[in-house]
Amino acid sequence: MIRKVMAEVDVKLGIRQTLQKIEETYNKRLALSNAPKPLLIAVSKTKPVDLILNAYSVGQRDFGENYVQELVEKANDARILEHCQDIRWHFIGHLQSNKINKVINLPNLHMIQTVHSIKLAEGLNKAWEKVKAENAEKKQQLNVLVQINTSGEDEKNGVQPEDAVGLFRYVLDKCPNLNCEGVMTIGRFGHDYTTGPNPDFGTLMKCQQDICSTFERDPAELQVSMGMSDDFVQAIEAGSTIVRVGSSIFGARAKKPTDA
């Protein structure tokens, strides 16, 4: 019981502290940008449902999951369905085409942040068309972000920066069931900020600018998802509108589960 109370206090405090940092950083940025106030995605991967309920109880609504099977289990959890009816799930991990149907049929799915290829975009578009036909509650487009590999690392997914406009154009022109809200990156871990700004953040902002110029979009209306626990403040300073924070809220991450 003591351990459970401690967890409740830590999660709620983590949410409040993170939101306060977002607010403070955003207020400083206002003088330089008209981008919207950043949205906090609480990354709950490997964390138990109890901690999600704790975060939800203090107003957190957007949660991110990396692993398909874990998201399936949590989105269908009886306690989540009963007590978190306004929850919004964001899938932020690598999505394989053969697992699309497992994800898009989930209750309260809000966004797929990791559309990294034309093949995946095409698969999501076709699958969502079927979902809309079968489910009267899902008549809106599926929200997605284009994932960009800003660091050039082989183990990271995403299109190359020079291909960002092309993938965005494909979704816009060929995927009527998808609503492409912006861009996303994971980036290289552990940037040393004493050496200067994070180049991954600069690259993603350049991709956003290229897309806005090409399609005559207002930059304030095109989402930029970048920044995690260690660097979300710097990401907001660079222009991020969505930050994905896990360990600062939920504590150190457990060992990766086996996805299926």
pTM of the model: 0.92
Report whether 33 contacts 234 (CB < 8 A).
no
Least confidently predicted of 64-68, 228-232, 243-247, 252-256: 252-256
Phi and psi angles of residue 17, each rounded to the nearest 5 degrees, phi first: -65, -40
Q: Is the model's pLDDT at 38 over the cut of 80?
A: yes
The closest of 180, 173, 182, 181 to 204, measured between CA atoms, is: 182
Structure tokens at 89: 């799930």
- In the chain the domains, ranked by start, together with CATH numbers, are 31-245 (3.20.20.10)
The overall average pLDDT reported for the chain is 92
Per-residue pLDDT reduced to its tens digit, 124-169: 999 999 998 888 777 799 999 999 999 999 999 999 999 999 999 9
Kindly write down the DSSP assignment for every residue of 194-244, as one continuous string: GG-S-HHHHHHHHHHHHHHHHHT--GGGSEEE---TTTHHHHHHHT-SEEE
The closest of 62, 59, 97 to 225, measured between CA atoms, is: 62
Report whether 218 contacts 14 (CB < 8 A).
no
- Residues belonging to the chain: 260
Structure tokens at 213: 């110029």
Report whether 108 contacts 87 (CB < 8 A).
yes
What is the percentage of the chain residues whose pLDDT exceeds 90?
A: 85
Structure tokens at 230: 């260690």
Kindly indicate the confidence band of residue 221, based on its pLDDT and cuts at 50, 70 and 90: very high
Per-residue pLDDT reduced to its tens digit, 77-134: 999 999 999 999 999 999 999 999 999 999 999 999 999 999 999 999 999 999 988 8
108: helix, coil or strand?
A: coil
Alpha carbons 221 and 111: distance in angstroms, whole number: 16
